């Protein structure tokens, strides 16, 4: 009697050529499980300690109205993937446009080679990675139809032209007026050798104005944006009449403003985008990326007082519709609310996977990236200072001579903790009253010093949409705060 | 990845299928690798191989639609052309873009050497060695938190349905080192340097290391600076970064959009001190990223922007040139709205000067090495700036690093307040520029 050889239940690497690993390019779902679990298994068999794939499909469109014409309608279609390989605490990230099995395998092979590893030989038993049942935030939260529910090209043009018309009616001395909108639809799939398998759809939209007014040598330019992360009807519901009135009023006030006189002043920062001060002066320094580099003065300050006892601050990814809200981060971890500072005491850092591995601080669902060409890094989401007990009136009443920073421009923080940010709309405060508009102000200081000077927080917390550029690209974030008072800050001017 | 000929074939085939008669495509394929290190070990290595194209489609009414995509296979090109065709219904009615009249004109005969990529292991070991040398250069240098060695190979092309087809290949390698100091009782200080060349063997690693070391050490002895008006000396790099931030002044598209410090009538007017002459020259031999054609296929060339203080010429796309009765200058990037941007500046050196304008002998001048946060502190439409900087207070050749300060002013006034242009130009990644001396700028010191 002859006994047929018992077929091995194990997958051998040379079987890969016979297998059909075709997965749909136009949808990331559980049909990708076989492809990704096999590739992850190959990576682990090669000796990698950890392997992660990030797949992305992106359908982006921007539209711009200038004066009374649509001057730009720009769609962009992107597909790509990145593979990250860890060996010890070192890692390598390789990205590609090629989402075929062989394309992804080539990217993996390159990443492994860079780390000094090689794919297993042709007759090696291959342990595929057991992925969790797909955690599909898109389907679970009804996001699959979002793209089709968004404004059409025709509607984008109609809304922006109407909005720009409204701005033209509200503003005077107009040199140029723009209404701009973008919609960024992104589908992502994350699979990792620890079994992570998760999918999400993000819909980020932003609309706003940019107004330039001129009268002789006097000029003012004011920008304003609103943002949203989950409402397909966001553009059609935009209250552009109110936004136009606000922008026109600000531009009118700033047109004849004097330049600020440089010096050291008490400053009242407005709520909403005033929160950029905390984002730049402290938020970035609480990312584990900064701990890894040794570029944060707060590196060993967990549990210690780093700010005024009236200051409590959060970073979270769960506020409905906020610009930095995410159901999962770009490493497949559900978003959470992270207490950063409580009554002046540092409570937590923001950590991604690599940051957690290298610094020991637990992951906080903060691994974020612009797209597939970037490895995820610890980044902020919705970051804000909690409301305090004072009224706005009490803050103003406490200032004899100072500056009211109503609208902030951008800012940055350097490797030694020095920060700076521009003020796009400012006013002089004299004896508790706003007396005249000022322009050309830049606020500079040291993160460690400014945090102890935020002495009063009002009770009117509000959030604003923003963009943050850093190591893993440009991402959508929220900044926020109530009105707050900084006892003293250096104001650069003329 | 498909070749450029493949992409041209896909585009032609899809266009025919979709009934598209007129189209053009600009695209590039990039292969890049970068490494970072941390205290002797590789920290992160990144590699990427990707392509992207922008397609423009003219519909039967003559209106244009645009789409960009990273999917350059037949399916992706098909979808991109179809989406662009859909978008063309909403194209502009006035000043509709057209092919550049120079899209088939001969380009400059420039021989640019491309260097094969170095093995990743060589990049890592080189950077580890450089980091080690920088850490050993001075006891106060405690870390090099920002460092990177990257190499990139780019193939770029332009083609259109009228038969234009251009392509060229380039390679670059760049090194940046940004070190940080730690001293008991002193604030941490930092400084850095960067070099770019066509390949690792050509890279001035020693020069980068030396510059990063010297700059970092020079900031150890720091002090506050009193606020006030100062004579300021800009390094070539600092001046070019400011010039670039206000490029709307000579950008024809910005002028046509009413978003410029100039108007169409500004040509021929005095905008700067007669000491200043500025050219844009994409083909300059020092420009490692020299490109012979722009995004519309127009050949690049040397353009005089400011000559002896007089605004001489604007930078143009094909469309702005047509509207303003000028010649395209090779500065266009195609998109839903064609944009214009500079390539590589050349600020002409000035003359030898008296001791008044010598950093070894001048008294109480601020030497600005590097301007920061230009994205936040420049209001390009108002002409104003207020920027933090790295620099020194210089007195008779003695330099004291400035702890933290901003420089503020109006760019148009700054150009007219230039009192000296030094005779030797610095070579920077953005262009050639000597040190520029400017009178009476506002400096705000912290505290």
B-interface mutation test, from A87, A369, A415, A489, most B Cβ less than 10 A away:
A415
Give the CA radius of gyration of chain A: 26
pLDDT interval class at B2 (50, 70, 90): confident
Q: How far apart are the CA of A102 and the nearest CA of chain B, in angstroms? A: 12
Q: What are the beta bridge partners of residue B228?
A: B443
pLDDT at B192 over 70: yes
pLDDT at B277 over 90: yes
A-interface mutation test, from B320, B377, B413, most A Cβ less than 10 A away:
B377
Q: What percent of chain A has pLDDT over 90?
A: 80
Interface of B with A in 327-356 (CB under 8 A): 335-337
Q: Stretch B395-415: mean pLDDT, rounded?
A: 93
Q: Stretch B380-401: mean pLDDT, rounded?
A: 93
Q: What are the beta bridge partners of residue B143?
A: B180
Q: Stretch A448-474: mean pLDDT, rounded?
A: 92
d(CA B175, CA B194): 6
Q: Is A432 exposed, middle or buried (0-12, 13-18, 19+ CB in 10 A)?
A: middle
State both tokens at B128: 């580890």
Report pLDDT digits (tens) over A358-409: 999 999 999 999 999 999 999 999 999 999 999 999 999 999 999 999 998 8
Contacts of B42 in chain A (CB under 8 A): 90
Sort residue A453 into left (φ over 0), alpha (ψ -120 to 50) or beta.
Answer: alpha
Phi and psi (nearest 5°) for B202? -95, -10
Q: Stretch B268-297: mean pLDDT, rounded?
A: 96
Element (H, E) at A170: helix A153-170
Domains of chain A in sequence order = 11-62+72-140 (no CATH), 146-186+202-256 (3.30.160), 259-492 (no CATH)
Q: How far apart are the CA of A210 and the nearest CA of chain B, in angstroms? A: 11
Q: State how far the alpha carbon of A14 is from the alpha carbons of A19, A101, B212, B331, B431, in Å.
A: 10, 15, 51, 52, 54
pLDDT of residue A148: 97
d(CA B239, CA A177): 30
Report CB contact under 8 Å: A412, B146. Answer: no
d(CA A65, CA A161): 6
Report pLDDT digits (tens) over B25-66: 999 999 999 999 999 988 889 999 989 999 999 999 999 999
Q: Stretch A42-59: mean pLDDT, rounded?
A: 97
Return the residue of B nearest to A295 by Cα.
B145
Q: Stretch A27-56: mean pLDDT, rounded?
A: 95
d(CA A372, CA A489): 40
Contacts of A369 in chain B (CB under 8 A): none
Nearest CB to A492 within list B38, B69, B386 = B386
Q: What is the ipTM of this complex?
A: 0.89
Report pLDDT digits (tens) over B106-149: 999 988 889 999 999 999 999 999 999 999 999 999 999 999 99
pLDDT of residue A173: 97
Return the residue of B nearest to A61 by Cα.
B67
Report pLDDT digits (tens) over B355-385: 789 999 999 999 999 999 898 889 999 999 9
Decide if B317 contacts B338 (C-beta within 8 A): yes
Q: How far apart are the CA of B67 and the nearest CA of chain A, in angstroms? A: 5
Decide if A87 contacts A115 (C-beta within 8 A): yes
Nearest CB to B408 within list A212, A292, A493 = A493
Q: Stretch A306-311: mean pLDDT, rounded?
A: 92
Decide if A427 contacts A403 (C-beta within 8 A): yes
pLDDT interval class at A6 (50, 70, 90): low
pLDDT interval class at A5 (50, 70, 90): low
pLDDT at A459 over 80: yes
Q: Is A25 exposed, middle or buried (0-12, 13-18, 19+ CB in 10 A)?
A: middle
d(CA B336, CA A63): 9
Return the residue of B nearest to A86 by Cα.
B44
Q: What percent of chain B has pLDDT over 70?
A: 100
Report CB contact under 8 Å: B145, A175. Answer: no
Q: Stretch A63-77: mean pLDDT, rounded?
A: 95
Q: What are the beta bridge partners of residue A339?
A: A314
Q: Which of A130-144, B183-197, B267-281 has the lowest mean pLDDT?
A: B183-197
pLDDT at A355 over 80: yes
pLDDT interval class at A8 (50, 70, 90): low
Report CB contact under 8 Å: B257, A66. Answer: yes
Q: Which of A290-294, A300-304, B148-152, B226-230 has the lowest mean pLDDT?
A: A290-294
On average, the pLDDT of chain A sits at 93
Nearest CB to A97 within list B70, B94, B189 = B70
Beta strands in B235-360 (DSSP E): 278-281, 302-307, 310-311, 332-333, 339-340, 345-347
Q: State how far the alpha carbon of A477 is from the alpha carbons of A74, A216, A226, A398, in Å.
A: 23, 38, 12, 32
Q: Stretch B215-221: mean pLDDT, rounded?
A: 94
d(CA A198, CA A354): 19
């Amino acid at each position: 009697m002859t006994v047929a050889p018992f077929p091995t239940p194990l997958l051998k690497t040379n079987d890969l050529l016979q297998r059909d690993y075709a997965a749909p390019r136009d949808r990331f779902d559980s049909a990708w499980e076989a492809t990704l679990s096999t590739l992850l298994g190959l990576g682990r068999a090669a000796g990698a300690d950890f392997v992660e794939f990030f797949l992305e499909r992106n359908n982006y469109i921007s539209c711009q109205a200038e004066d009374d014409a649509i001057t730009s309608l720009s769609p962009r279609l992107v597909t790509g993937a990145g593979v990250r390989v860890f060996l010890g605490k070192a890692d390598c990230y390789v990205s590609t446009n090629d989402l075929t099995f062989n394309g992804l395998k080539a990217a993996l092979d390159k990443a492994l080679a860079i780390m000094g590893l090689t794919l297993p030989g042709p007759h090696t038993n291959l342990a595929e990675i057991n992925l969790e049942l797909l955690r599909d935030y898109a389907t679970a939260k009804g996001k699959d139809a979002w793209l089709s529910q968004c404004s059409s090209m025709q509607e984008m043009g109609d809304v922006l032209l109407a909005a720009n018309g409204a701005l033209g009616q509200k503003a005077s001395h107009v040199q140029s007026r723009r209404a701009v909108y973008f919609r960024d639809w992104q589908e992502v799939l994350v699979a990792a050798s620890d079994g992570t398998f998760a999918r999400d759809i993000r819909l980020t939209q932003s609309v706003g104005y940019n107004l330039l007014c001129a009268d002789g040598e006097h000029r003012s330019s004011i920008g304003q944006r609103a943002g949203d992360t989950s409402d397909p009807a966001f553009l059609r519901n935009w209250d552009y009449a109110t936004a136009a009135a606000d922008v026109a009023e600000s531009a009118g006030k700033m047109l004849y403003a004097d330049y600020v006189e440089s010096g050291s002043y008490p400053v009242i920062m407005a709520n909403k985008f005033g929160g950029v001060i905390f984002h730049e002066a402290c938020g970035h320094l609480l990312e584990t990326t900064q701990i890894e580099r040794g570029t944060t003065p707060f590196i060993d300050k967990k549990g210690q007082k780093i700010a005024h006892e009236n200051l409590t601050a959060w970073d979270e990814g769960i506020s409905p519709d906020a610009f930095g809200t995410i159901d999962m981060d770009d490493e497949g971890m559900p978003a959470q609310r992270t207490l950063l500072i409580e009554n002046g005491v540092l409570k937590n850092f923001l950590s991604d996977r690599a940051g957690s591995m290298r610094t020991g601080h637990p992951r906080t669902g903060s691994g974020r990236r612009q797209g597939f060409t970037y490895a995820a890094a610890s980044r902020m989401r919705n970051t804000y200072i909690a409301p305090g007990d004072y009224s706005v009136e009490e803050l103003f009443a406490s200032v004899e001579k100072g500056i009211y920073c109503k609208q902030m421009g951008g800012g940055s923080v350097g490797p030694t903790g020095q920060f700076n940010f521009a003020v796009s709309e400012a006013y002089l405060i004299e004896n508790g009253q706003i007396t005249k508009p000022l322009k050309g102000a830049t606020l500079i200081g040291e993160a460690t010093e400014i945090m102890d000077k935020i002495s009063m927080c009002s009770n009117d917390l509000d959030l604003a949409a923003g963009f943050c550029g850093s190591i893993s690209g440009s991402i959508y974030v929220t900044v926020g705060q109530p009105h707050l008072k900084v006892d003293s800050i250096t104001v650069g001017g003329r | 990845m498909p070749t450029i000929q493949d992409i041209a074939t896909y585009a032609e085939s899809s266009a025919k299928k979709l009934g598209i008669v007129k189209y053009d495509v600009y695209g590039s394929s990039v292969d890049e690798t970068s490494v970072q290190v941390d205290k002797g070990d590789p920290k992160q290595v990144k590699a990427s191989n990707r392509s992207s194209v922008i397609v423009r489609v003219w519909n039967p009414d003559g209106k244009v639609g645009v789409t960009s995509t990273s999917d350059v296979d037949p399916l992706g090109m098909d979808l991109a052309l179809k989406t662009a065709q859909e978008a063309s219904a909403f194209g502009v009615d006035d000043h509709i873009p057209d092919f550049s009249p120079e899209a088939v004109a001969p380009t400059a005969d420039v021989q640019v050497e491309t260097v094969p990529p170095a093995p990743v292991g060589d990049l890592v070991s080189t950077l580890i060695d450089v980091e080690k040398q920088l850490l050993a250069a001075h006891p106060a240098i405690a870390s090099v938190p920002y460092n990177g060695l990257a190499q990139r190979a780019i193939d770029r092309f332009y083609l259109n349905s009228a038969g234009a087809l251009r392509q060229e290949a380039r390679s670059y390698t760049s090194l940046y080192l940004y070190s940080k100091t730690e001293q008991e009782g002193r604030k941490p200080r930092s400084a850095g340097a960067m070099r770019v060349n066509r390949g690792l063997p050509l890279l001035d690693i020693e020069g980068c290391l030396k510059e990063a070391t010297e700059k970092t050490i020079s900031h150890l002895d720091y002090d506050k600076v009193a606020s006030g008006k100062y004579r300021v000396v800009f390094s070539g790099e600092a001046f070019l970064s400011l010039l670039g931030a206000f490029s709307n002044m000579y950008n024809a598209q910005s002028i046509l959009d009413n978003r410029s410090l100039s108007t169409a009538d500004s040509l021929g007017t005095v905008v700067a001190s007669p000491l200043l002459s500025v050219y844009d020259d994409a083909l300059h031999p020092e420009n490692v990223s020299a490109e012979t054609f722009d995004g519309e296929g127009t050949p690049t060339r040397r353009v005089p922007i400011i000559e002896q203080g007089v605004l001489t010429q604007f930078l143009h796309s094909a469309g702005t040139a047509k509207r303003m009765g000028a010649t395209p200058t090779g500065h266009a990037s195609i998109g839903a709205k064609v944009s214009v941007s500079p390539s590589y500046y050349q600020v002409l050196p000035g003359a030898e000067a008296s001791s008044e304008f010598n950093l070894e002998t001048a008294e109480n001048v601020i030497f600005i090495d590097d301007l920061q946060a230009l994205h936040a502190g420049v209001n390009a439409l108002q002409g104003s700036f207020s920027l933090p900087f790295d620099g020194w207070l210089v007195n008779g050749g003695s330099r004291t690093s400035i702890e933290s300060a901003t420089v503020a002013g109006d760019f148009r006034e700054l150009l007219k307040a230039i009192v000296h242009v030094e005779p030797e130009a610095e070579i920077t990644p953005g262009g050639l520029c000597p040190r520029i001396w400017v009178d009476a700028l506002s400096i705000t010191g912290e505290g």
